[in-house]
Amino acid sequence: MIRDEPLVLGIETSCDETGVGIVRGNTLLADAIASSVDQHARFGGVVPEVASRAHLEAMGPTIDRALADAGVAFTDIDAFAVTAGPGLPGALMVGVAAAKAYALSLGRPLYGVNHLAAHVCVDQLEHGPLPKPCVALLVSGGHSSLLLVPDVAGDVRSLGSTVDDAAGEAFDKVARVLDLGFPGGPVIDRMARDGDPAAIAFPRGKYKDGTYDFSFSGLKTAVARWVEAKERAGEPVPVADVVASFQEAVVDVLTQKALKVCKDNGVHDLLIGGGVAANSRLRALAAERCEAAGIRLRVPRPKLCTDNGAMVAALGSELVATGAAPSDLSLPADSSLPIESVLMQ
C-alpha cells in the first residue's frame, strides 16, 4: 500500500444492501455492509420501498462503521464514489444523495459509477490489476451479462445479456416453488451438494444458438411443472435432486457461453463476478472448463461477489488513478444506466 495514494470511500445502494467500502489504491481497508434481506424474506423478494427506507436508516451507521474499521477520520477521505445505476430507482437515490452531501461537505470530488463495472473492478482488490483485455461474466439477481473489458475505467462493452430472467432471479423463483425461502441462491447451493445433478434433464435455454445471450425463464418454468407433476401424482419430490439438476443447467449454460466469448474474441482471461459468482458449483465448473481451454480464471472471494461498497470504492480509486474527471454534483440516479457508461459526468 502506498500511503500517498488517494483514500476513496464508496457507497453502494442499488438493491437491498447498504455497502460502504474504503480503499487506498488497490488495498481494501474497510467493507461494511448492512443488509435488509430479512425484511424482504416474508415477501419472497425485494420490495423497493422497504429497501429505500432501510438504506436511509443504515447509511449513517454504516459510514461510521467503515471509518472505524479503516482507522481513518471522515476528513481523511480524498474522494467519494457511489453507484449511480443500474438498480432500484429509490434505493439508488438514497446512495447518490448521501454521496453528494458527503462530497459537498468536504469539498471532495465525487464519482458516480456503474454498478456492473464495479463488480468487475472489485477483483483488483484481491488479485491485482485486471488483464487488458479480459472477459467478464456477471451473474446476479438482476443481471446475467457477458462483457468485453479492454479497460474497466473507460471501455466496457456488452456482448450478451439475459433476455428474460437473470440467473439469480431464477434461483429465487425455483426456491419459492420448493418453499425454500428467500434468497434462494445460498440454500440451493447448499442442498444441491446432496443431490444428483444428472437426475433430471432440465432444458438449457439458448445453449447453442450462436449468441452470447441467456434465457432462464423456460428453465424455471420446467422446474415448476416437473414439481407440480410429482405433487399431482402424489409422489415425493426429491428436492436435492431437483435443485442439483436445476443448478447444473444454469452453470452449464453460463460457463459454456463465457468460454465461447473468450474463444471468439481471442481473450485468455475470464473474470466472474456478481452474487451468483459465490455459487460453489459455478466456481468449480468454471475452473474445470477454463483449465481445459487454457483460460486464466479470476473470481473474487464470495463476500466481494455480492453487492458491497468495496467494489464501488475500487472503481472510484481506478478512476482517480487514471485521471478521470469527477462527476458533476447534479448527477442523477439512473436505474437503467448502460454498461458503456462506466462513469456519469
The pLDDT tens digits for 248-262 are 999 999 999 999 999
Cell of 112: 458516480
**Which comes out higher in pLDDT, residue 43 or 33?**
33
CA atoms of 97 and 178, how far apart (whole Å):
39
Q: 68-102: per-residue pLDDT in tens?
A: 999 999 999 999 999 999 999 999 999 999 999 99
Residue 218: pLDDT band (50, 70, 90) is very high
- Sheet containing strand 296-298, edge to edge, reads 155-161, 144-151, 134-139, 269-273, 296-298
Whether this model's pTM surpasses 0.85: yes
| Helix ranges restricted to H, 28-47 | 37-41
CA atoms of 184 and 216, how far apart (whole Å):
15
77: helix, coil or strand? Answer: coil
| Domains of the chain and CATH, by start | 7-122+308-344 (3.30.420.40), 132-300 (3.30.420.40)
**Pairing relation of β-strands 269-273 and 296-298?**
parallel
My answer on whether omega of the bond before 197 falls inside 30° of 0, hence cis, is no
CA atoms of 225 and 228, how far apart (whole Å):
5
Cell of 216: 432462464
